[in-house]
Amino acid sequence: MTEPSINKEPSDMIKPFSMKGFKFVGIRAGIKKNGHKDLGLILCEKTATAAAVFTRNRVMAAPVILGKETIKKGECRAVLVNSGNANCFTGSQGLLDARETANMVAQAFDISQELVMVSSTGVIGAPLPMDRFKTGIPLLKEKINIGRAEDFAQAILTTDTCQKIVRLTGSIDTPEGVKEFSIMGVAKGSGMIRPDMATMLAYVLTDADIAAPDLHHALAGANEKSFNRISVDGDTSTNDTLLCLASGESSACIRDDADLKVFRNLLETVCFRLGKMIVKDGEGATKVIQITVRGAKTQADAFKASEAIAHSNLVKTAIYGEDPNWGRITAAAGRSGAFVDPDKMDLYFEATPLVLGGCWLGLEAEKKAAQLMKASEINITLDLNLGDKTDRFLFCDFSENYVKINADYRS
């Protein structure tokens, strides 16, 4: 991961949020029952370079099916996002409705329908309330010049309790001098988070000038190190979309290997911070945990062990109860499919060892670990002592509120 310590907090975010070459708007269209904002739009002032990755869930929402088709050209002018309805498991009509909403945006803003991406998030199985789009999209056009990124960020939320926006600035050295560029990310996600590509919905924007193949390569790499390393509840959404748009409005042209490295590093940091925000806002979550598995024989082993621990409900509930139940952690690693030797395992809570060489260090060590678990952010390290490979996941605990939120979700 770009930022291996979960204790780092963004200190350089800029408010109000903006990005050269893009306009934002978010409104109440009446899609949600609670009357909150539920329809948002990102408008690119000119055609932007685009790249995206989507869910690997075979039950794909209509906007994901359409998005895979739309993104092939590597260009985009507008992104329409609704919350409150996933437009998933809605058959051929759902795909027709997704295309029609894209067509509505194209007509309203006088752009090609082929350059309009659409996303949906919310309840699965219900048809899109198309009348809400027919009245909502003209309102988006009316407010596009006075809208804010924060309005868009609010409009895409479901069970989230807060907006998730990050904006960072980087620079590259050129023969003409130092050239600055910025990357901003807006995301939503709180539950149904076991990304098998990305998070539920995330939109990353930059004013850098970068070619589509380079943008796609950078986005795929950033996704693998951030959104593909987080878990709230172990569920992969049907609507996962991670979209990146580059307006090219800054003077920074990302072309050579050195420039690409700078761009990739900043992109990874933005995605990592968004991923952490999602975990921190996990449904019913009270703690954020980073599990690091080191000393693995292979990279695959490090991934398998850390993933299994992050997805373990027994580990999550133990952490909620502030119980350093090391047996659950080591057992999860043991069933992960990774090669492990229980007699060589070391386990640490922060820098405090609880198990060394496969042996529990006793009640005093456990009391120290339990005290550390009272923090809202916790680092746990499992050293397999079998090699030099490392991987890590961010995840949250499970509380009673997770059950309540999801039991009442459709009520």
pTM of the model: 0.90
Question: What is the C-alpha to C-alpha distance for residues 336 and 140, in angstroms, rounded to an integer?
Answer: 48
* Residues contacting 120, CB < 8 A, separation 6+: 61, 62, 63, 81, 82, 83, 85, 86, 87, 88, 98, 128, 239
Q: State yes or no: is 199 an active-site residue.
A: yes
pLDDT tens for 376-385 read 999 999 999 9
- Which of 43, 39, 35 shows the shortest CA–CA distance to 19? 43
pLDDT tens for 239-286 read 889 999 999 999 999 999 999 999 999 999 999 999 999 999 888 899
pLDDT tens for 143-199 read 999 999 999 999 999 988 899 999 999 999 998 999 999 999 999 988 777 767 655
Inter-helix orientation angle 299-311/313-320, to 10°: 60
- The answer to whether residue 16 scores a pLDDT higher than 80 is no
pLDDT tens for 70-81 read 999 999 999 999
Annotated catalytic residue within 199, 206, 330, 381: 199
Q: What is the DSSP secondary structure assignment for residue 351, as one 8-state letter?
A: T
Give all domains of the chain, ordered by start, each with its CATH number: 22-280 (3.60.70.12), 288-407 (3.10.20.340)
- Rounded to whole angstroms, the maximal C-alpha distance in the chain is 70
